[in-house]
């Protein structure tokens, strides 16, 4: 993992402070998210948003919406390439979509419902508008919902975001709904698909992934990014526990279970620091359950693993709405940063997933912190961050002792 460049094709490769997956997209719909009267609205496709006087302007405004969002998506957002990946047999990772499809007894990856669920906006045939094109990958409709009923009126003077939501727009301004949209693809993949050769999902940190799409929206509030980070970790803990439970139920092989428990440990090592601020008793209880789950996986006790995973998923899920609406400030942001940085030994022991998350967490939260106090980070802080990302650049060569040393260097440098 490095800091600063966008990610190349496939997974396992990471970017410099920027991690965007190329093999996964976003579910076109989160169940129950749309008003009842909008459930049958049609998906209009990216082309319906790309006119020069809409979101395809070559002369963007200074502030959001800049009206060049469609162009930015097409040129820079990896989601635009999600469908094309299914046709690419020369991915840098060596992953073969055709071989995965064959192993799963699917005719073709590019026509399979299982693949299109995340690699495209796979709307039902009767809900596809005249400009809709499934080969466009994960586009506007994938995140914002079917636009048929609000597309034209949302450009009218005096029109509000709330009116669009009532007509079927997915409310991405609601941080909880936004997070749910992202994890619906970025944290869920069935065991049989991984066994067939599909890469495991990346270690996701919501604020990092959002920042490196790149974003085509503004974030209001000095400390809102702290909330986004905390919400992302709690929801990711919920989803990673849910995934482990599903794999235990399916009697998945040892390596798949190890991968799953690594995600749970990793997200808990971050989530516990926001929960220590928002719900200390929950942080303690979850810590005990994660330890017990780790033991159950190590012993191969799938029944106990299912029970504990469900308990962890439920508890984390209950905290997510609270964090989504909680106000954070300079003091809590600083406390979380120092908490993560001071937890070096535990993070090192939790595995490479935890280390990856710690690097992303401290990168994003320190950026938020110094911007919030209108100051620049010392060179030693940036050097420590660079070293942490370097330590996890190649997961296969991850050295826990090296990472712990760099994390402690950050802790010493951050004031």
The pLDDT value given to residue 32 = 43
The pLDDT value given to residue 141 = 96
The pLDDT value given to residue 31 = 38
First to last CA, the chain: 25
Dihedral sign from CA coordinates of 56, 218, 155, 181: positive
Q: How confident is the model at residue 401 (pLDDT cuts 50, 70, 90)?
A: very high
The pLDDT value given to residue 36 = 59
pLDDT at position 7 over 50: no
Considering only CA atoms, give the Rg of the chain: 21
Note whether residue 66 is domain-resident. yes
Query: Which of 68-77, 217-226, 282-291 has the largest mean confidence?
Result: 282-291
The pLDDT value given to residue 204 = 84
Tens digits of residue pLDDT in 129-143: 999 999 999 999 999
Spatial CA neighbour of 411 closest among 381, 387, 391: 381
Q: How many residues does the chain have?
A: 415
Q: What is the pTM of this model?
A: 0.88
Residues 399, 395: Cα–Cα separation, whole Å: 9
pLDDT at position 33 over 80: no
Note whether residue 155 is domain-resident. yes
Q: How confident is the model at residue 78 (pLDDT cuts 50, 70, 90)?
A: very high
HSE value, Cβ hemisphere, 13 Å, CA-based, for 389 = 22
Spatial CA neighbour of 51 closest among 120, 131, 141, 125: 131
pLDDT at position 373 over 90: yes
Spatial CA neighbour of 137 closest among 195, 68, 188, 88: 88
Residue 410 CA: distances (Å) to CA of 84, 148, 290, 363, 395 = 40, 50, 27, 10, 21
The pLDDT value given to residue 86 = 97
Least confident of 4-13, 105-114, 299-308, 375-384: 4-13
Note whether residue 141 is domain-resident. yes
Residues 308, 293: Cα–Cα separation, whole Å: 6
What percentage of the chain exceeds 90 in pLDDT?
81
Note whether residue 50 is domain-resident. yes
Tens digits of residue pLDDT in 146-170: 999 999 999 999 999 999 999 999 9
> Both tokens of residue 39?
């459930």
Q: How confident is the model at residue 48 (pLDDT cuts 50, 70, 90)?
A: very high
Q: Which domain holds residue 27?
A: 1-173
pLDDT at position 364 over 60: yes
Note whether residue 152 is domain-resident. yes
Least confident of 24-33, 181-190, 193-202, 352-361: 24-33
State the total domains in the chain: 1
Q: How confident is the model at residue 328 (pLDDT cuts 50, 70, 90)?
A: very high
Note whether residue 204 is domain-resident. no
Host H or E run for residue 225: helix 224-249
Tens digits of residue pLDDT in 245-279: 999 999 999 999 999 999 999 999 999 999 999 99
The pLDDT value given to residue 57 = 93
What percentage of the chain exceeds 70 in pLDDT?
91
Q: How confident is the model at residue 6 (pLDDT cuts 50, 70, 90)?
A: very low
What value does the mean pLDDT take over residues 187-207? 86
pLDDT at position 337 over 60: yes
Note whether residue 325 is domain-resident. no
The pLDDT value given to residue 16 = 33
Note whether residue 312 is domain-resident. no
């Amino acid at each position: 993992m490095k800091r600063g460049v966008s990610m190349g094709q496939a997974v396992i490769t990471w970017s410099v402070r920027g991690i965007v997956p190329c093999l996964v997209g976003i579910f076109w719909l989160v169940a129950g998210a749309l008003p009842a009267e909008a459930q049958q609205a049609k998906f209009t496709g990216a082309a319906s948003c790309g006119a020069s006087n809409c979101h395809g302007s070559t002369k963007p405004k200074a502030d959001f919406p800049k009206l060049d969002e469609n162009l930015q998506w097409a040129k820079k957002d990896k989601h635009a390439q999600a469908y094309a990946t299914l046709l690419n047999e020369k991915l840098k990772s060596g992953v073969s979509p055709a071989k995965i499809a064959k192993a799963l007894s699917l005719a073709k990856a590019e026509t399979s419902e299982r693949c299109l669920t995340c690699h495209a906006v796979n709307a039902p045939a009767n809900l596809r508008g005249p400009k809709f094109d499934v080969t466009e990958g994960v586009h506007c409709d994938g995140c914002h919902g079917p636009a048929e009923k609000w597309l034209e009126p949302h450009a009218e003077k005096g029109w509000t975001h709330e009116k669009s939501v009532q007509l079927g727009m997915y409310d991405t301004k609601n941080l909880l709904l936004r997070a749910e949209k992202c994890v619906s693809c970025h944290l869920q993949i069935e065991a049989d698909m991984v066994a067939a050769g599909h890469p495991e999902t990346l270690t996701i940190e919501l604020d990092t992934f959002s920042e490196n799409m790149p974003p085509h929206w503004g974030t209001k509030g000095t400390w809102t990014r702290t909330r986004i980070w905390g919400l992302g970790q709690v929801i990711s803990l919920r989803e990673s526990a849910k995934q482990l439970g599903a794999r235990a139920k399916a009697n998945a092989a040892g390596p798949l279970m190890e991968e799953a428990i690594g995600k749970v440990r990793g997200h808990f090592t971050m989530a516990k620091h926001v929960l220590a601020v928002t719900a200390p008793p929950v942080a303690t209880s979850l810590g005990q359950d994660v330890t017990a789950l780790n033991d159950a996986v190590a012993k191969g006790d799938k029944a106990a693993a299912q029970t504990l995973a469900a308990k962890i998923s439920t508890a984390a899920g209950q905290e997510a709405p609270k964090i989504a609406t909680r106000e954070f400030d300079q003091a809590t942001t600083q406390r979380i940063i120092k908490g993560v940085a001071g937890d070096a030994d535990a993070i090192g022991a939790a595995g490479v997933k935890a280390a990856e998350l710690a690097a992303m967490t401290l990168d994003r939260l320190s950026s938020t912190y110094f911007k919030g106090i209108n100051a620049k980070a010392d060179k030693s802080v940036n050097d420590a961050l660079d070293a942490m990302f370097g330590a996890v650049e190649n997961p296969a060569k991850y050295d826990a002792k090296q990472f712990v040393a760099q994390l402690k260097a950050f802790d010493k440098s951050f004031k």
